[in-house]
Structure 1
Amino acid sequence: ANDVDGLSSDAVTIFDRMKSEGYTTGVVGKWHLGARANDSGDGNRPEHQGVDEFFGIWKGSRNYTIGAVGGSGTLRETFASPFTDTVLETTPPWNTTNKYVTNAFGIGAVNFIERHYADPDPFFLYVSFTAPHSPIGPSPDINDPRLSSLTGKRKDYASMVLTMDREIGNILNTLDDPAKDGSVSLTDNTLVIFINDNGGANNIGADNTPLRNFKGSIFEGGTRVPMIIAGAGLPANSTYHSPIHSIDILPTCLEAAGGSPPAEIDGISLLPYLDSTIPGIPHEVITIRNDTKVSVRKGDWKLAKNASNSPFLLFNLSEDPEESTDLAEINPEIVADLLNAFTTFETTIDKPRHAGLTKAPSSINLNNAFVLAPQTTPTGTFISDLTLVSGDLRNGNFNAGGDGSVQTYAETPSWENIGTGTLSENFTNTSLSANGSRNAIIAESNARAAGLDTGHTLSTGEIFRVTFQWRDASNWNDSSDLVAITLFTTSNDRINGPRNNIQRLVSRTSVNNSAYQTENFLFNPIIASEEGRRLFIEVNAAQTGNGFARLDDFKLQRGILGQGDQPSPSAFLNWSQDSAWIDPQTNSPDTLLSTDSFPGCILEFPVTQDFSYETNNDLTRISDLTFMLNSLRLTGFFDGASPQSANLSGSELLLTDDLDSAPANLALEAMGPAYSFFLKQDLILYHDLEITGNGSAAFVLEGQISEYHKPTKLTKSGTSSLLIKSSPKHTGPTSIHEGEIILAENVTLSSEVIISEKAILSGSGTLTNSLSGAGTISPGQGIGTLTIQNASPKRLHLEIDGNQVDHLVSTGILDLSSTTLSWSTQNLTEVVYPIITYNSLIDGFRNPNLPPAGYVFDYNYQGNKIALVRSENSYQVWSQQTHALSGANALFEADPDLDGIPNGLEFFTGSNPAEFTKTHPLKASRRSGSTSVSYPISSLGQATLFRLQSSTDLINWDDSFPGDQLPTVKEEKHFYSPGLGKVSQNITLPLEKTRFFRFIHQP
């Protein structure tokens, strides 16, 4: 996970890009980008980074007298092809007449120009003086009369600047007359850029007045520096006042060379702005970030934070260039806008890929993915009842074997190499022993891993303890490197067979340098799936590298815990905890850092078989702002003996697309319904969020989803189910393509919701926006009430259990005409089950949707509900509950509204028994011998039996028609209103003068 110094070998530099435009490239002065040789393919010295010719030093500074500096500060000259590298530090004239390094750099630049001015190809020369970097001292120009008014360090500093100025003058003079005879001038065909890398440093004689602070600060004294640019086509003697950034140098040079800056380059060519070809400013926002220090400039406003855990300060630079008055408190909107701009910037940049100056490579991680490694330690008193490895038993003291000081695996009884190497790898030694005898060599190498067959067959619930002594040895990082012990089984009970790790525990870091320390590991109880398998052990370094440790007196025992002790207590981990994570590329312990918070960060939280755990996010970005990442993954296969859980809590998270535009992701992949993940952190969406995964574990989102500053959408795919227990605040659409989203009670989802055919929306929450799609709505998690607004659901699933029933509430317009209804029912005990409450129902169920056997639909129950009503009680419910009839008025044959239509017929035809019906429900018409009879029929009325009879004299009524004709019957559901259909019967009848029709109730 750790970096090495300087540029990555695959970094594309400005020198690479200028070479691709046909330029000869040169660097003079300090390189300061790495001094690694290319012996392992990762060289980053100038010749490996696109530089044809180098004259200078690899490091960033040195003393100014040539002659005695070694290492990466040595003065040298390098040519890439054919390759030569000459050390000049102790070579005349550099250590004699030209021994001041600033003069040497000037001479090196002049020599480069003189070598190449007549070449057919152009050249690109980068000259990086160390002056006036410390150490501060008098230069050869210390006695220049222009410095006579200065004294002490200030005079020394000025003399160093003056010497550099003279050398820059020599370089410009050489451009004007490289042949020294006036025959050639490159001045009108050369772009010259002068820029300082930072403001003056503190305590070296520099003075940045009136600007605040010094080098290393993000205040103006550290970042506002002089820049001069001159060349053909640029206006002379003019000043450009808009803010620019050093990142603009590369695209400016590329355009001047006739090339086009690649799209991925952040900077902008300044040429069209300087010559007024393009109006406006190059950058709306200028951002500077140096470790924990941040500044953001937009127009005249600048937001600044100069240290970790310090507040953001706001300045108006046009009125206050000294940055003396903080205006943040009275301008919260401007602060928020600049913070948004800074976060936008951070969503586009990589994390540090090389350690900072003076920092160890281990101060950063190169890996993007981290897997949490929760561990629990059984608590209590361990009482051994069986020793499997100890002393001479299975060579736990490593003393058995050959007589030499170093002994291979092949020479060591019981132990074998289960790494990628062979048995000829060294394994034990007599030096650095804990007890005066032989000890094991623990190497940070995949080629070496010590394995041992215990010969023991496992039983469920067994508890094992391992004790050993170990110490650091060669190239061991005391602050981070660890020893790991793994218990494992294989599918064929052979040590090199297909493997299943039972548990891996890691040691403490080295407590006392080069001294033995004792470790005591108590492993979790053996789970049922390992019953009957053979137990193996691996002893290894927990990380890869170049180091070694020594280990001795290894002991493995089986035992029991004292009464009341916990074999698998819950574990708690802070995200920042040392070695709380694993680098999945190396399987080595890792520590998550603030610098790992960037758009490509992937965090994985696995299931645990026999204990639960809680994690706490105690990290932010290095700017102290919300931790940023691309993906949260919940993974693993759970088959533990009892239910377990993982609780993810702590500070909020900011989810973004990664740098390759892979979308922000919450991956629900863990398998096993007895395992639960509780995500309690708030999730802020900078970009759209995709929830994926086919996991069968229980996934619960207790934190709130919100959006950073622009509408974001949420998409769910995969067969997993997610229970949401806090109201999401994103305003973009929620699309459920597959699986299930469950809204807990009191959760409100205000976004538009689209449910695809294979997806389900369920729960007891509330939707306040539109709902569409071919998917399923299923109120409740179990039994519950789901509230929606306007909807035309394609599928509705309802559950009935005893006296409980799912309920759907529509607060807007509900259309059930295309809804397919399905049921899960048991123990139907109630006469009435209200299933839907509506505000405006424009159509009822039309597809072949049947109520449960023995029930009918009432679309007007209590005026605004759809209910299931038991068929045999349907009239009773209609008359007494819906229309509040009682006593004699509630009888089937009664006519309480005196409209001539008895209750039974009003029940059948869907009219109101308490309101006078002016129009008879039965209608008939004749045309050309065809007679049509129609009448309304309510969904409830279908539970009763009526007969249609006809008569020509009102005395003799008959069910049959002349010629025993069967009428053509047509039923149109919900013709008049939801729940009130129309039945039409057509028959050919003789042309009598009059024919009468009536309904007869059939008991």
Structure 2
Amino acid sequence: MQQNKSGQEKTRPNVIVILADDMGYGDLSCYGNHWITTTHLDSLAADGVRFTDGYSTAPLCSPSRAGLMTGRYQQRFGFELQVSSGAFPERKEVRLDDGSLGPIQGEEEFLRRGIPVTELNMGELFKRGGYKTGVFGKWHLGHGDSFLPQNRGFDKSTVFYGNTSIQYTDLDDPSIVSLKVDFHDELINTAWTRAGLNEIRENGKLIDVDEYLLHFFRDRALDFIEEHKEERFFLYFSMNAPVPPLQVPRSYFDRLKTEIPNINQRGYNALLLAQDDAVGALLAKLTEHNLDENTIIVFVSDNGCAESRPGSNGIFSGGKFNTLEGGIRMPFIIKWPGQIQPGTVYEKPVSTLDILPTVANACSVPLNEGVQLDGRNLLPFLQKKKMGQPHEDLFWKIAHFAAVRSGDWKLYVDRNRGLKQLFNLKDDPEERIDQSNIHPDLFSTLLEKLRIWENSLPKKAWSNYYGNTLISKSKR
């Protein structure tokens, strides 16, 4: 592109989107974690904006990533559920919508699952816009040829395709602490393996990795910045933490021995510290090359922490798998020096849907022509050029769960349990007091909005096992 040599091109910012895996709202110290100090992630909030009411589009890894990467509700293209679970999903029976077991589906079924080519993700848009693009970490957006990152806009990809992968394969190495804390640990061929979809691939080619995986992906991201420091780049750092398996370098674990006597709690928070330091390494690399003042950094989690794990969803009820606040309200931070006022705290509802239109507009990257985004460009709101709130309503739908956020009010639906409840999140953020009988008109209005929205969607493109009903229940 001739534009690459223009003055405008030199002023366009780089973009780094950092996505945590299953990090709860209360896991960072800037969001209330009193066990540890997440120095580097806190610095992003201090230097940028921290969202108090930031949401993912689903309480589950794969669909939430589809919404983030496209800026559209993933249900609009049938992507309601996971593309895969475990290292060999084709070998497992499927749990049908009625709870019964269906047949083993086979590899062909899973190869057809992913973001349709009619939907452009951030990698594709930024590559078209003249940026060098890279993704490092967890992909989980489809492993058929047409869904692979190297075929969907990313110049460089070093990823695993599945929902998790073992951090370190030598379980006898005393320098790594390995803990089993969660139902993932009991599932065959899921967390504690580096086989199948958990294998590491570089631009599609299998590679052997005998390093601690979080650090390996960190180093590949650093290499990408180093390689493209003289160019505009878009980096998607999809971190494989703090999702299980819970493995962490002993140096981090031992650091917390006095502060956190509970071993599982200590291990989880030690992993958060390792994750924070990995982000710190990226920040240091940007500073080293004087890129920090012209780089937009977004940090967010894909969904909340599962209630069975030692993480924290703050004061909120629920967690991963359900649409209570603990499952969908995320730590969410954006830093852009000179454009976003340091120390900003933004309290109106925003969504990971908003990331794509926000960074694309900031970088003068054209959007997918003819496709209506559900996300909003947040910059006019953050810069106080536009009043009001970015979204009148936000919607969720996954399996038997649904929700609508409208101002301070939220409709929560769990069809398996026959629940339809109305909460005022300003007065009752823990979602304990159902006000559907107190405000029947508002309750009916939100139910109708949900009905209209759901009826506008196509049928989900596939079905598969969705969690465990015991896990999906709220602690309320």
- Same fold at TM > 0.5: yes
Counterpart-to-counterpart distance in 2, 1:267 and 1:109: 27
Aligned residue for 1:250, secondary structure, equals helix
Aligned residue for 2:252, secondary structure, equals coil
Matched, 1:101 2:209: no
Counterpart-to-counterpart distance in 2, 1:196 and 1:32: 14
Deviation, 1:7, is 2.8
Q: Which residue of 2 aligns with 1:148?
A: 258
Are 1:141 and 1:160, in contact at CA under 8 Å, matched by a contact in 2? no
Counterpart-to-counterpart distance in 2, 1:73 and 1:127: 17
Aligned residue for 1:106, secondary structure, equals helix
Q: Which residue of 2 aligns with 1:850?
A: none
Q: Which residue of 1 aligns with 2:313?
A: 208
Aligned residue for 2:157, secondary structure, equals strand
Deviation, 1:339, is 1.4
> Taking structure 1 as reference, are residues 105 and 66 closer, same or farther at Cα in structure 2, changes over 3 Å only?
farther
Counterpart-to-counterpart distance in 2, 1:189 and 1:236: 15
1:471-527 per-position Cα deviation (integer Å, ceiling 9, x unaligned): xxxxxxxxxxxxxxxxxxxxxxxxxxxxxxxxxxxxxxxxxxxxxxxxxxxxxxxxx
Q: Which residue of 1 aligns with 2:355?
A: 249
- Please point out which of 118, 121, 129 is paired with 2:230: 118
Deviation, 1:209, is 3.5
1:124-175 per-position Cα deviation (integer Å, ceiling 9, x unaligned): 1111111111122343443353453212211111111111111010011111
Deviation, 1:345, is 2.4
Are 1:25 and 1:124, in contact at CA under 8 Å, matched by a contact in 2? yes
Matched, 1:169 2:280: yes
Matched, 1:279 2:371: no
Deviation, 1:55, is 1.1
Are 1:288 and 1:296, in contact at CA under 8 Å, matched by a contact in 2? yes
- Please point out which of 190, 198, 201 is paired with 2:303: 198
Deviation, 1:76, is 2.3
1:769-794 per-position Cα deviation (integer Å, ceiling 9, x unaligned): xxxxxxxxxxxxxxxxxxxxxxxxxx
Are 1:287 and 1:295, in contact at CA under 8 Å, matched by a contact in 2? yes
Are 1:27 and 1:127, in contact at CA under 8 Å, matched by a contact in 2? yes
Matched, 1:76 2:201: yes
Matched, 1:224 2:329: yes
Aligned residue for 2:448, secondary structure, equals helix
Q: Which residue of 1 aligns with 2:449?
A: 341
Aligned residue for 2:357, secondary structure, equals helix
Deviation, 1:260, is 4.7
Are 2:139 and 2:162, in contact at CA under 8 Å, matched by a contact in 1? yes
Q: Which residue of 2 aligns with 1:58?
A: 161
Counterpart-to-counterpart distance in 2, 1:354 and 1:21: 32
Aligned residue for 2:133, secondary structure, equals strand
Counterpart-to-counterpart distance in 2, 1:100 and 1:201: 23
Counterpart-to-counterpart distance in 2, 1:356 and 1:253: 33
Matched, 1:258 2:364: yes
Q: Which residue of 2 aligns with 1:88?
A: 207
Are 2:360 and 2:366, in contact at CA under 8 Å, matched by a contact in 1? yes
Number of aligned positions between the proteins = 333
Matches within 5 A, 1:133-532: 133-146=243-256, 148-150=258-260, 151-177=262-288, 184-232=289-337, 233-262=339-368, 264-356=372-464
Are 2:358 and 2:378, in contact at CA under 8 Å, matched by a contact in 1? yes
Counterpart-to-counterpart distance in 1, 2:367 and 2:464: 28
1:802-842 per-position Cα deviation (integer Å, ceiling 9, x unaligned): xxxxxxxxxxxxxxxxxxxxxxxxxxxxxxxxxxxxxxxxx
Aligned residue for 1:191, secondary structure, equals strand
Counterpart-to-counterpart distance in 1, 2:377 and 2:257: 38
Q: Which has the larger radius of gyration?
A: 1
Aligned residue for 2:346, secondary structure, equals coil
Counterpart-to-counterpart distance in 2, 1:257 and 1:229: 15
> Taking structure 1 as reference, are residues 333 and 273 closer, same or farther at Cα in structure 2, changes over 3 Å only?
same
Aligned residue for 1:202, secondary structure, equals coil
Q: Which residue of 2 aligns with 1:891?
A: none
Counterpart-to-counterpart distance in 2, 1:248 and 1:66: 37
1:685-728 per-position Cα deviation (integer Å, ceiling 9, x unaligned): xxxxxxxxxxxxxxxxxxxxxxxxxxxxxxxxxxxxxxxxxxxx
Deviation, 1:86, is 3.8
Counterpart-to-counterpart distance in 2, 1:27 and 1:63: 19
Aligned residue for 2:350, secondary structure, equals coil
> Taking structure 1 as reference, are residues 118 and 163 closer, same or farther at Cα in structure 2, changes over 3 Å only?
same
> Taking structure 1 as reference, are residues 66 and 142 closer, same or farther at Cα in structure 2, changes over 3 Å only?
same
- The structure with the largest helix share of the pair is 2
* AA matched with 2:128: S
Deviation, 1:194, is 0.1
* AA matched with 2:295: T
> Taking structure 1 as reference, are residues 66 and 256 closer, same or farther at Cα in structure 2, changes over 3 Å only?
farther
Counterpart-to-counterpart distance in 2, 1:355 and 1:23: 36
1:861-911 per-position Cα deviation (integer Å, ceiling 9, x unaligned): xxxxxxxxxxxxxxxxxxxxxxxxxxxxxxxxxxxxxxxxxxxxxxxxxxx
Counterpart-to-counterpart distance in 2, 1:268 and 1:77: 33
Flag structure 1 segments of 5+ consecutive residues without an equivalent. 38-42, 79-84, 178-183, 360-1003
Counterpart-to-counterpart distance in 1, 2:448 and 2:128: 37
- Please point out which of 79, 97, 122 is paired with 1:14: 122
Structure 2 length normalisation: TM-score?
0.66
> Taking structure 1 as reference, are residues 278 and 31 closer, same or farther at Cα in structure 2, changes over 3 Å only?
same
Counterpart-to-counterpart distance in 1, 2:148 and 2:235: 17
Aligned residue for 2:419, secondary structure, equals coil
Are 1:251 and 1:260, in contact at CA under 8 Å, matched by a contact in 2? no
Deviation, 1:307, is 4.1
Q: Which residue of 2 aligns with 1:30?
A: 138
Aligned residue for 2:244, secondary structure, equals coil
Are 2:135 and 2:237, in contact at CA under 8 Å, matched by a contact in 1? yes
Aligned residue for 2:405, secondary structure, equals strand
Counterpart-to-counterpart distance in 2, 1:155 and 1:204: 12
Are 1:140 and 1:163, in contact at CA under 8 Å, matched by a contact in 2? no
> Taking structure 1 as reference, are residues 259 and 142 closer, same or farther at Cα in structure 2, changes over 3 Å only?
closer
Counterpart-to-counterpart distance in 2, 1:357 and 1:194: 29
> Taking structure 1 as reference, are residues 45 and 20 closer, same or farther at Cα in structure 2, changes over 3 Å only?
same
Flag structure 2 segments of 5+ consecutive residues without an equivalent. 1-107, 171-192, 468-476
Matches within 5 A, 1:800-839: none
Are 1:9 and 1:48, in contact at CA under 8 Å, matched by a contact in 2? no
> Taking structure 1 as reference, are residues 357 and 112 closer, same or farther at Cα in structure 2, changes over 3 Å only?
farther
Are 1:301 and 1:316, in contact at CA under 8 Å, matched by a contact in 2? yes
> Taking structure 1 as reference, are residues 160 and 11 closer, same or farther at Cα in structure 2, changes over 3 Å only?
same
> Taking structure 1 as reference, are residues 356 and 170 closer, same or farther at Cα in structure 2, changes over 3 Å only?
farther
1:33-67 per-position Cα deviation (integer Å, ceiling 9, x unaligned): 11123xxxxx3111121111101211120111157
Deviation, 1:283, is 0.2
Deviation, 1:351, is 2.8
Deviation, 1:69, is 1.4
Q: Which residue of 1 aligns with 2:241?
A: 131
Matches within 5 A, 1:743-754: none
> Taking structure 1 as reference, are residues 354 and 24 closer, same or farther at Cα in structure 2, changes over 3 Å only?
farther
The structure with higher relative contact order (CA 8 Å, sep 6+) is 2
Aligned residue for 1:143, secondary structure, equals helix
Counterpart-to-counterpart distance in 1, 2:238 and 2:277: 14
* AA matched with 1:154: Q
* AA matched with 1:116: H
Are 2:354 and 2:376, in contact at CA under 8 Å, matched by a contact in 1? yes
Counterpart-to-counterpart distance in 2, 1:357 and 1:208: 24
Q: RMSD of the TM alignment (CA)?
A: 2.2
* AA matched with 1:185: N
